[in-house]
Structure 1
Amino acid sequence: MRYAIYFALPADDRLTQTAAHWLGRDAFIDGALSWPEVPALGRENQMALTADPRRYGFHGTLKAPFELAEGKSEADLLAAFDEFAAEIEAFEVPRIVLHQIGPFFALVPAEDCPPLRSLAEQAVRRFEPFRAPLSDADIARRNPERLTRRQREYLTTWGYPYVFEEFQFHMTLTGPVPKETQPVMRETLTAAFEEFTGKPLDVATIALFVEPHRGAPFTVYSLLPLGGASERKIA
């Protein structure tokens, strides 16, 4: 079993619902949803191009998936998660935009957001004691030969190559999109998410996702508000 600390909006948020329908899966209920009809892409092609983010659920990574370290329990992790959420104050990303990261498409902040970068750094450090070391197979899956020296060091030390100054917050909407399909994908996503792009994003909740076994879909185990004590909300 693996856990991950992600940014996620509440289940009833409009962006959550729009992204869930685009991906064809709701991570809160682990249920399949109908896809919007996109004739230019075709149903099977759209399913294939969204397969990776569909399994992980709509989110922004703060602490990448990890198995529990020896001597740590799920109860320990949940207690730490409660404390962490209560200590962080909610904030706003001034504006999000649709962006292409290599062959992938995602929603990202329009400009650097120091509070968001700080949240991610705190999550990486705070939950590191709960992370079991990566296996050789886990490291190999990250294709370390394609990483920079610093990214390889972060992968070994922190379990993820894109932390601290390498961090780029993104809420993934596709897997790798072939070059010839990228223009129609950009046009499709621009229309699908125009209600949200160019507008602020409230960062007022944090989520603990769980992967029951390797390769299984990730689901929301707990979603908590940032700042102050609040009753646990179990998804």
Structure 2
Amino acid sequence: MNFRRYAVYHLPGGPLGQFGGAWLGRDLARPVSGAEAALRPDVPGLPAPAEALTRTPRRYGFHATIKAPFRLADGHGPNDLIRRAALICDHLTPFDLALELRQDYGFVALRPTAQPPELLALEQALVTRLDDLRSPLTPDERDRRRPDALPPKARAHLDHWGYPFVLDLFHYHLTLSNSLPAPQADALVAALQPVVAPLLAQPMRVEAVSVVGEDADGLFHHIADIALRG
């Protein structure tokens, strides 16, 4: 399959990953790329049908962005990206990440209770050391990020790294909803909390990242897993 953009994601495994894929209706972590996930869990008290609440994140799958989607620079292919990412990850260590369910700015997501140094090192290394493989943003791509509405530091990151929320502005998150009005987002958090609480009782182990690709329809597909071997 030909892909127009590539990214590096963290794809949770185990019961949490299975829940996320089922909830969104699309599981990137399954062996068949972009496979339809298991039947959506029955969650009482939803403020709207799950299909409607998850339409936008379904395109990307249940994931946390480490290196945001980008077009490969001329002269480079996906194997170059995979090899480079593997060389980087050979020196990065696995770690545990405690998560909580909350809503921020209308997006319901799982977020770390704190971002440990190992997570920040992972993000920084992959953002900076893969960047020579990235084709510069086109004017249209830059405009879609609404640079005039960004704070100065985020705008500077957009121009330098192709994405505004990196490095000192990076926040790990596993998105579970579209952008929702605050009351609807709060209601969704309340409905999901009993379902996800058992899945979050123990910290999540982060021991690999994944290279993914975006097809012509804007759907992302799993390409390769890369272990943290440090």
Do both share a fold (TM > 0.5)? yes
Aligned: 1:37 with 2:39? no
Q: How much does 1:74 deviate?
A: 1.9
Contact 2:103 2:186 in 1 (8 A): no
TM normalised by structure 2 equals 0.90
**Residue in 2 that maps onto 1:74:** 78
Query: Aligned match of 2:160 in 153, 157, 160?
Result: 157
* CA-to-aligned-CA distance 1:184-214 (integer Å, 9 cap, x gap): 201122122112225311110111011122x
Change (3 A) 1:38 1:195: closer
What CA distance in whole angstroms lies between the structure 2 residues aligned with 1:199 and 1:178?
30
TM normalised by structure 1 equals 0.88
What CA distance in whole angstroms lies between the structure 1 residues aligned with 2:182 and 2:123?
31
* CA-to-aligned-CA distance 1:47-82 (integer Å, 9 cap, x gap): 122112111011111100000011212221121122
Q: Which amino acid aligns with 1:226?
A: L
Q: Once structures 1 and 2 are overlaid, which stretch shifts more, 102-111 or 45-54?
A: 45-54
Q: Report the 3-state secondary structure (helix = DSSP H, G, I; strand = E; otherwise coil) of the residue aligned with 2:198.
A: coil
Q: How much does 1:8 deviate?
A: 1.5
What CA distance in whole angstroms lies between the structure 1 residues aligned with 2:118 and 2:183?
37
* CA-to-aligned-CA distance 1:109-140 (integer Å, 9 cap, x gap): 10231110111011101110111111112112
Query: Aligned match of 2:223 in 216, 221, 224?
Result: 221
Q: How does 1:1-235 map to 2 (within 5 A)?
A: 1-10=4-13, 13-27=14-28, 28=30, 29=32, 30-33=34-37, 34-38=39-43, 40-41=45-46, 45-93=49-97, 95-213=98-216, 215-227=217-229
Q: Which amino acid aligns with 2:124?
A: E
Q: Report the 3-state secondary structure (helix = DSSP H, G, I; strand = E; otherwise coil) of the residue aligned with 1:100.
A: strand
What CA distance in whole angstroms lies between the structure 2 residues aligned with 1:209 and 1:164?
21
Q: How many residues align?
A: 223
Contact 1:97 1:198 in 2 (8 A): no
Change (3 A) 1:224 1:112: closer
Q: Which runs of no fewer than 5 residues in structure 1 stay unpaired? A: 229-235
